[in-house]
Amino acid sequence: MAGFLSKENTIANASFNRWLVPPAALAVHLSIGMAYGFSVFWKPLGNALMDAEGKPLAACAAGATNFSEKLSGTLRALTATDCNWTQFDLGWMYTLFFVLLGCSAALWGGWLEREGPRKAGLVSMLCWCGGLLISAYGVYTHQLWMMWLGSGVIGGIGLGLGYISPVSTLIKWFPDRRGMATGMAIMGFGGGAMIGSPIAAKMMSYFATPTSVGVWQTFVALAAIYFVFMLWGALSYRVPATGWKPANWAPPATQNNAMISSKHVHLKNAHKTPQFWLLWLVLCMNVSAGIGIIGAAAPMLQETFGGALIGQPDVGFAEIKKDEAMTAAAAAIGAGFVGLISLFNIFGRFAWATSSDKLGRKNTYYIFFVLGAIMYCAATYVAGFKSLALFVAAFCVIASMYGGGFATIPAYLADMFGTQFVGAIHGRLLTAWSTAGILGPVVVNYLHDTRLEANVPFDKIYAPIFLVLAAMLVIGFIANWLVKPVDEKYYMSDAELDAVRKEAHEKSALANADNGSAKNQAPVASHPIFVTIAWALVLIPISYGVWSTLQKAWGLFQ
């Protein structure tokens, strides 16, 4: 088994079809991407415990009026079995997901480069699916700490390893289309919730009983489904031999484009370069400016437009809150808005990353920052005269560039630092995502609550918030402008590169061609019919997710 999982046994022979790798990456990313959809469990879990009359018990933090009281209630909720959990209690799992994602990717990125994507993908599968099973037991016994540990910590480690496991491999398989290759995989991470959330909702409805909300059973079922998909994806990973290149493709003349390096920077030196920290800031600002507002998309739309969402433009959000029917109608429109920007987030990952192959990575980020700042300023203006169509359009563009930033950054890193350690360098850079996952929501929520407490009308709350987020994009623009080619002193010599490749058990394309009959790489596996089947296995659930999301978004157009 150890030999089967070793990196040298994942090196593909000359007949391998590289188009088998993207669906394998998608299988892993679509599974771990369900982390984005965990909010579907918050409301059922908040009503998990009921009294003899079938009414939910009070929350552990019932009556809390400030942060310290809420935190005290959360600490009690960690082990209490006589009170329900609040969204505040459960939301810490969401924070743990993305903090642990960045930390684990940074810590074990170097190990991944040495051991290969197959082993990393399998560890990711064990962590993510195992974490779901631990969480299921935590729900069953009503122990919040087990959910934090299972999905938050252990599952978060699985997220990090699963997220970066195919990046380096795809970039090496598609040197002619780096952006497109990473865009295909990272699109899957954004699409995981689009598929998983409606499936989870249906499962909870199926498993629910008078004494159970059906969450722990849903966790077990999802763990089983993701186990199969991630196992297939991880075992399908193959890496190209050193020196491999697509047929009839010649590397571009790097002297004509100094922003694309033909040399490689060692992982131990990448963080010593100014380029690493500038790109860290580029990603952090792009994500911070998007994640906070996307996380508050539904209430933002309802508060800004109020009755205009349901054909009553003279009714404000304060009045809507007092009417149950109007609240439900406005919430349905808000859910449709969330679905629509989710689609743009997902497909923006593929579209923008693919476009960057022609535009260049630096120019693509210039577009993100300039167009994003314009969209935020425009949203401030159009919200004032209640133009719903223009407001929605602005945030769809913003969501596409938010997703596009995730998908373009691995190719940007490969251009700057070479491909030898790009997966590990990308892992370290993802600490910018962890930082942004805290910074963006904190800024948006703090400004929102501060203005709400100052009795600012609901439809006036977000205008200055949009301007603060636009200022973040200006900072990102400056950081991107400062990115220059890496200094020659940071590149590895040919001797150092050969030593690194020998340590990683890499084979040259010539040597590997003589070993094309390896048992785990039978040429029949690359037959077009297998490629078609592999793509069908991921495109069918993606199509289901798109259809489910469009159904929710339809309310915006009625």
| Amino acid letter for position 32 | I
Distance (Å, whole) CA 59 – CA 43? 12
Distance (Å, whole) CA 176 – CA 181? 9
What is the DSSP annotation of 407-460?
A: HHHHHHHHHHH-STTHHHHHHHHTHHHHHHHHHHHHHHHHHHHHHHHTT--GGG
pLDDT at residue number 516:
47
Task: Sort residue 116 into left (φ over 0), alpha (ψ -120 to 50) or beta.
Answer: left
| Amino acid letter for position 484 | K
Distance (Å, whole) CA 347 – CA 92? 28
What is the DSSP annotation of 306-374?
A: GGGGGT-TT--HHHHTT-HHHHHHHHHHHHHHHHHHHHHHHHHHHHHHHHHHHH-HHHHHHHHHHHHHH
Domains and their CATH numbers in the chain: 16-48+78-246+523-553 (1.20.1250.20), 259-491 (1.20.1250.20)
Per-10-residue mean pLDDT, the chain, length 558: 74 88 95 89 87 82 75 87 86 85 91 90 96 96 94 95 91 92 88 90 90 92 97 93 84 65 91 96 95 81 84 80 80 82 92 94 97 95 85 93 95 93 93 89 86 86 92 97 94 89 66 49 64 93 91 75
Two tokens, residue 385: 């005269």
Distance (Å, whole) CA 432 – CA 290? 13
Distance (Å, whole) CA 49 – CA 524? 54
Distance (Å, whole) CA 134 – CA 309? 41
Taking the model in full, what pTM does it have?
0.88
Q: How many helices (H) and strands (E) does the chain have?
A: 24, 0
CB atoms < 10 A from the CB of 58, how many?
13
Using DSSP, state whether 491 is helix, strand or coil.
strand
Closest alpha carbon to 327 in 340, 316, 339: 316
Closest alpha carbon to 278 in 476, 140, 90: 476
Distance (Å, whole) CA 387 – CA 378? 11
pLDDT at residue number 520:
47
- Give just the sign of the alpha carbon dihedral 515, 517, 520, 524: positive
Distance (Å, whole) CA 12 – CA 416? 26
pLDDT at residue number 506:
67
pLDDT at residue number 518:
45
pLDDT at residue number 519:
45
Helix runs in 116-177, H state only: 117-141, 144-147, 155-164, 167-173
φ/ψ (deg, to 5) at 184: -65, -45
Closest alpha carbon to 406 in 273, 282, 254, 223: 282
Long-range (24+ apart) CB contacts under 8 A made by 515-518 are 515/13, 516/13, 516/14, 516/15, 517/13, 518/9, 518/13
Asked if 473 and 286 touch (Cβ cutoff 8 Å), the reply is yes
In this structure, the chain runs to a length of 558
φ/ψ (deg, to 5) at 211: -115, 0
pLDDT at residue number 145:
95
pLDDT at residue number 511:
54
**Measured CA distances, 157 to 99, 232, 344 (Å):** 9, 20, 27
Asked if 193 and 55 touch (Cβ cutoff 8 Å), the reply is no
pLDDT at residue number 522:
45
Tell me what percent of the chain is helix, strand and coil, each rounded to the nearest 5. 75, 0, 20
pLDDT at residue number 537:
94
Distance (Å, whole) CA 449 – CA 471? 20
pLDDT at residue number 242:
83
CB atoms < 10 A from the CB of 456, how many?
15
